Structure 1
Amino acid sequence: MTVTVSKVANPTDCYAIRYTVFVEEQNVPVELERDELDATAIHLLATDNGSPVGAARIVVKGDTGKIGRVCVLRELRDNGIGSALMRETLGVLRDTPGITRAALGAQIDALGFYEKLGFAAYGDVFDDAGIDHRMMELRFDT
């Protein structure tokens, strides 16, 4: 497995992976999966030997980079693709002037994954598209 993660100008492959994971697998309503933030977001695509296998997006607001839509195709999970995707996402944020923190709404089942990357949970559990989530953040050294 040779995984590469990069920013993409055309997020079509990202949208396809997100549709597979969120709409088909997790039953997120299609009208909730895509939103107006996609137009201005930074999109990252993970590929394995050139084939799309994972995606994420970043929405910058003030000093915060909100990471969202993080997903890896089911059959390729537990191979380090999600970690590689998140490392690149955090690298993009660290390299963006003025960003002091990363935030995300994590599905409850993924809290441990994000904690291993340095994120800390805060606030109450909330429902997003029928799935329990919790907010998490990682503050960058300034």
Structure 2
Amino acid sequence: MSITIAETRDFATCLALRHTVFVKEQGVPIAEEQDAFDAVATHLLAQDGSTPVGTARILFQGDVAKVGRVCVLQSARGTGLGADIIRAAIEIAQKTPGIARVKLGAQIHALGFYTKLGFQAFGPIYDDAGIDHRDMVLELA
């Protein structure tokens, strides 16, 4: 694998990846997967050579960078790509003036994944698009 992860303006490709993972695999309704925040988000695209394999978005709100819509195609799972995408998002947040923390809403099955990356869970479990989630935060130094 020859992976690159970078900010992109190729939203159509990011959306196609999200559609595959969230809508087709996880059954999330399209109306809930896409929202108005996509227009103002920073989008990350992971590629294996020229093949798109993962994406995420970052919303900057006050002193918070909110990471969301993190997905990796099934063919690239188990390779560490998801962690690399999160690390790339954290790096962008760290380089953005005024950002003090990174937050995300983690699917319950992924809590351990995010904990290993330094995030701490807080608050109650809640339903997002029919999937149990819990908020997590990483305080930036």
Could you tell me the TM-score, scaled by structure 2's length?
0.99
Distance 1:105 1:78 in 2: 21
* Alpha-carbon distance, 1:16 to partner: 0.4
Residue identity in the other structure for 1:33? E
SS at match of 2:99: coil
Q: After the TM superposition, which residues 1-142 of structure 1 pair with which residues of structure 2 at under 5 Å, given as runs?
A: 1-141=1-141
* Alpha-carbon distance, 1:60 to partner: 0.5
1:80-120 CA-to-partner distances (Å, cap 9, x unmatched) read 11011111111000000000000000000000110010000
* Alpha-carbon distance, 1:2 to partner: 1.0
Unmatched 5+ stretches in structure 1: none
Distance 2:3 2:10 in 1: 19
Distance 1:103 1:139 in 2: 9
| Segment drifting more, 119-128 vs 3-12 | 3-12
Could you tell me the TM-score, scaled by structure 1's length?
0.98
Aligned-pair identity in percent equals: 52
SS at match of 1:99: coil
Distance 1:50 1:9 in 2: 15
Distance 1:12 1:80 in 2: 24
* Alpha-carbon distance, 1:10 to partner: 2.4
Residue identity in the other structure for 2:84? A
* Alpha-carbon distance, 1:23 to partner: 0.1
Unmatched 5+ stretches in structure 2: none
Residue identity in the other structure for 2:55? A
Runs of 4+ more than 6 Å apart: none
Distance 2:82 2:20 in 1: 16
1:38-75 CA-to-partner distances (Å, cap 9, x unmatched) read 00000000000110000000011000000000000012
Distance 1:84 1:134 in 2: 21
Distance 1:87 1:102 in 2: 11
